[in-house]
Amino acid sequence: MTQLVLFNVTNGLIIGAFYVLMALGLSLILNLSNVINFAHGGFLVIGGYIAYTITPYVGFWGALLIAPPLTAVIGLIVERLLIRPRYGRDPLYSLLLTFGLAFIIEDGTRFIGWAQGKPVTIPAFLAQPVSYEFFFITGYRVFMVVVVLFIVALLFFLLRYTRLGIRIRAGTLDLETVSALGVNVRMLRSLNFAVGVFLAGLSGVLAAGQLGLEPTMGAGLLMPSFVAIIVGGVGSLPGTLLGGLLIGVASGITAVFFPSASEAIMYVLMAVVLLVRPRGLLGEEGMMT
């Protein structure tokens, strides 16, 4: 039983790591641009399929370095052509736009011929378990956790100690004042959107090596990512990190005792948090920390 619990907790942490990367990107875009990006899961799929396409030519490591920036470039184009004209309007417009875009991306992958699941080859040494006793903890799982921790630390450094990050944080509080101080708000929003999409693309590459690829994989990770933002607190990036890991582990533990409730538990957890602390666990009204 102990090994079974540990196995499911490990799975929960891995899935929670995907939730964290997805939710951080969603939170960045929502906080600054007030856009509820339902296409975020689609960008994950794009990142994963870019990695799948280029892996035979550049290898897994090359795909890991190339696919997320390429996904961010695609995100910049989408933001410039489709989303930017909706800034300042009712958020419902951008929500419906990205909701439709998510279906376009999903059906587009099927049209290209990727309707069936596609595996992404990872280095053989990463596929090996780290020990015989804990055979389910592979090198790739450890690698994913390390990458997520590194990216989260890098993102927090970016937001706290760089000019771009300080402007993003200031913009979440009062975008009009930031604009009045001479900051190019359009460029700021575009760069912020690109960072968020970069995180989705990175999630896609990592998920491709662990879960394989399919057109609907982004949709399966999207709603839990929104739940992670709500549980942790809208506007709080540390809260988003906590929320993603918390719902991942909660789902893993629940799968041991009540397998049928492993997905429902995250929504129960969200409801409890909203009843006890409507701002979320680390949320502060009007603040992004």
Q: 250 in a domain, yes or no?
A: no
Euclidean distance between CA atoms 6 and 11, whole angstroms? 9
pLDDT, tens digit only, all 289 positions of the chain: 677 777 778 888 888 888 898 999 999 998 888 888 999 999 999 999 999 999 999 999 999 999 999 999 999 999 999 999 888 888 888 889 999 999 999 888 888 866 677 777 888 888 888 777 766 678 888 898 899 889 999 999 998 899 988 999 888 888 888 888 888 999 999 999 999 999 999 999 998 888 778 888 888 888 889 999 999 888 788 888 899 889 988 888 888 788 888 888 999 999 999 999 888 888 765 444 4
- Number of separate domains in the chain: 1
103: which 2 tokens? 């279906």
Q: 231 in a domain, yes or no?
A: no
Q: 235 in a domain, yes or no?
A: no
Structure letter (DSSP) for residue 82: I
Q: 64 in a domain, yes or no?
A: yes
Query: For tokens 């921790």, what's the residue?
Result: 149
**Residue 114 belongs to what domain range?**
2-219
SS3 content of the chain, % helix, strand, coil (to 5): 80, 0, 20
Q: 229 in a domain, yes or no?
A: no
User: Are residues 72 and 197 in contact, defined by beta-carbon separation less than 8 angstroms?
Assistant: yes
238: which 2 tokens? 């540390």
Phi (first) and psi of residue 162, to 5 degrees: -115, 160
Euclidean distance between CA atoms 70 and 74, whole angstroms? 6
Euclidean distance between CA atoms 283 and 285, whole angstroms? 6
Distances (CA, A) of 235 to 34, 221, 248, 258: 11, 20, 20, 32
**What is the rounded end-to-end Cα distance, in angstroms, of the chain?**
39
CB atoms under 10 Å from CB of 127, counted, come to: 12
As beta bridge partners, residue 213 has: 118
Q: 256 in a domain, yes or no?
A: no
Euclidean distance between CA atoms 283 and 204, whole angstroms? 27
* Among 52, 71, 72, CA closest to 62: 52
Q: 284 in a domain, yes or no?
A: no
Residue 255, CB-side half-sphere exposure with 13 Å CA sphere: 18
Q: 249 in a domain, yes or no?
A: no
* Among 231, 226, 223, 214, CA closest to 268: 231
Query: For tokens 């695609």, what's the residue?
Result: 74
The length of the chain is 289
Is the full-model pTM beyond 0.95? no
Euclidean distance between CA atoms 118 and 212, whole angstroms? 6
Phi (first) and psi of residue 175, to 5 degrees: -70, -30
Query: For tokens 């460029």, what's the residue?
Result: 187
